[in-house]
Amino acid sequence: MMFLSSSHKCLVALLCTWLVLSPAVLAASNKCASSLDLTSENGVLMANGERFYLKGLNWFGFETAQNIPHGLWGNTLAKLLDFVKNNNFNAIRMPFHMELFTQTKYPGSIGPNSNMAGMSSLQVMDLIISEAGKRGLVIMLDLHSFTPDSFMSENMWYTSRYSEAQVLNMWTTIVARYKNTWNLVAFDLKNEPYGCTWGTGNMATDWNAAASRIGTHIQNLDGGSRFLIFVEGVSSSPPCADACFWGENLKGVTTHPVSIPNMKKLVYSPHTYGPDVSAQAYFSASNFPANMPAIWNDHYGFVPSTTGHAIVIGEWGGHYSGGSNNIWMDSLVTYLLAKGTTDTFYWCLNPNSGDTGGLLGEDWTTPQTGKLALNARLVPNPSVPSATNGQICVSNTAPGSGGLVSGVVSSAAAAVTTAAAAVTTAVSGGGGGAVIPPRPSSTTTTTGQATNPVTSSVSSGDSGSSSCAGMTITTSIRSSWTDGAGTHGIYDIVLANTGSSSASNVPFTITV
């Protein structure tokens, strides 16, 4: 539990307190280096030696005949990227088709983006990656298809039209173009190669062997060694006891792992979906959704503990308007939190994905708050990368384990710029102390994740407001969930200087 108390000589009889649902003080860290070195170690993603908490989404369109991400026909690039950033995503998976890099293609409609006039599709891609970098967003390019709009049928890493050698040449072109682009960090070698086998010895169909060859080719290129190599699963080889979705089956990893020169750059990336996409029998089982963790463990959940490599789910999602798909999505998030494998790319930003919808409504403007809250529950504190003065920095604000923060709120002229600095001052391990910066000059907000289990449920008493000596502090529960460790919540804290008092040096204590 968290309590805040404040007292002042003018308010001797007043004790200001409020209760929120089991929040923990957050511990902040900031790591800077001359480059961004993302690795896959100990079953998780790392950035320059520290944990990288990825919160990603998919934004499709470059793999279609539009040759440009959808939605730009009616929205500015800045508006859509700001939506991504403002909802605390830090990564975009960008599907594309191969011919963007083998032919000169031009975008279909650029709408209000007049600065894109006359640009080729690749020049638009350059611009999107650059603008994303300014917002601290990292990019993964996903070879979704070889020709526009053919992703449903192209189920191998080559086609009758494009050989493996031509695919390797494409990756050579891509690496040469983006080797010095700091926020282009990963390549997904092929979307959903569901027609492939895994570990059979057939060089014409074994995806594990092909991914090893392609990944090795990329790493041996000038500048290619810095990129993460994402390898998706297959569909039915080796067979799944329960039906696997396209890209979900990583069972063959146990006996035939992918091998590349720098294995710390290897990420396994399953795709997983619910009943909105395909009505698998296990979604209608009598013990659904309790049956799902064992199924996910069998399909891909074993990978981090067995191989030491991270898994990053490259696609998951669906409609979130009630029914079994809601249950499936809620259960998947609970499962990933329990496993500690919360790095994902949500499908998708686009509302025009027929069987899933998007994070935006059909008007490409209205936020889908339920889906956004679900993603916030999964990754409440994503890492924040940035590039400044030749340095790439990664900031983390990760849940601590509780403790005591005490200090003095002063009316000094120096203003607190973020409530994260004022409230979630660095405390790790519990029992530590920190000095709270001066009182904010206006209103600031912070968000954190509760990590200490409690037995009580969320109620109106879990939110409240307290006003003491001209300073109002309000807390509210954004969302909550229960898992094997207890009940948890995501909370918001707002500090506001009401200006009703000139009192200074108001002492207070926050106890977690």
Q: Which of 63, 99, 232, 315 is catalytic?
A: 315
CA distance 182 to 412: 40
Residues paired with residue 476 on neighbouring β-strands, in sequence order = 492
Residue 294: CB partners within 8 Å, gap ≥ 6?
Answer: none
Residue written as token pair 């032919």: 103
Q: Which residues of 92-131 are buried (b: 16+ CB within 10 A; e: fewer)?
A: bbbbbbbbbbeeebebeebeebeebeebbbbebbbebbee
Is residue 192 part of the annotated active site? The answer reads yes
Max Cα–Cα distance, the chain, nearest Å: 83
First to last CA, the chain: 5
Stated as kind and residue range, the H or E segment containing 228 is: strand 228-231
Q: Find the angle CA(151)-CA(125)-CA(272) to the nearest 5 degrees.
A: 40
Instruction: Name the E strands within 132-178.
Output: 138-145
Please confirm, yes or no, whether 315 is among the known catalytic residues.
Answer: yes
Number of DSSP helices (H) and strands (E) in the chain, helices first: 10, 20
The DSSP secondary-structure symbol of 437 reads -
C-alpha distance from residue 18 to each of 1, 21, 317, 505 (Å) = 10, 10, 36, 21
Catalytic residue among 63, 99, 192, 248: 192
- Decide: residue 73, CB within 10 A, 0-12 exposed, 13-18 middle, 19+ buried: middle
Tell me, rounded to whole angstroms, the distance of Cα 310 from its chain centroid.
14
Burial class (CB in 10 A: 0-12, 13-18, 19+), 350: buried
Active site residues: 192, 315
